[in-house]
Amino acid sequence: MLIMPDLRDRVEEERGLLKRIQLHVPGFAGYRRREDIRTADNMLRRQLAEMIEEARRGVEDARKALAENYQMAVLDDVGGLIHSFQSLEGKVRHAEGGYSGISPAIRIVEDELNYLYEYDLSMLDAVATMGEEADALKSAVGGDDVPEKISKLLSLVNDFEDAFKKRMRAITKTEVSK
């Protein structure tokens, strides 16, 4: 009968290895923490980009429904809105990381992270609202309020882009912090 080692023992053993590395490599612990922060920032931006993409798909579905309903007068506006979503998605997905390791082009002091997290939370809320408004646009097909729905979505996209630029200025130290 094969006895499996206790998982807790293995975690302690690996933690011991990490501690020994940290003793020999000055700054290693801080480097790992910075890499974790960078990974979290990348994950957040990927999630935001995916949510923007999902909202864009909702607008594309609305465009198809508008065409099927012969509401041709608004199709150019919807096309412009879709382009705005695509542009925003690319900017968010491919933005420079918010924190990096040993010699970063952009460096964030960990104390500033809470300030940036306020931006992040507001952006997550804004993207969720975009998704809701994309659904509202789909529901409005056939009605008279389609132009207002398009206008509202475009305003949300522009506001989000402004907030994202402000966040990037905060990261690059060209934005005055609280």
What is the average per-residue pLDDT within 3-12? 51
Q: What is the pTM of this model?
A: 0.72
What is the average per-residue pLDDT within 35-59? 86
Query: Could you report the per-residue pLDDT of 83-140, keeping only the tens digit for each?
Result: 999 999 999 988 776 544 444 555 556 566 667 777 788 888 999 999 999 999 999 9
- For 27: left if phi > 0, alpha if psi spans -120 to 50, otherwise beta; the answer is left
pLDDT for residue 82? 97
Tokens of 67: 């065409």
The region of weakest confidence among 31-35, 98-102, 163-167 is 98-102
Domain spans in the chain, listed from the N-terminal domain onward: 7-171
Question: What's 25's DSSP letter?
Answer: S
Secondary structure class of 141 (helix, strand, coil): coil
Tokens of 50: 């995916």
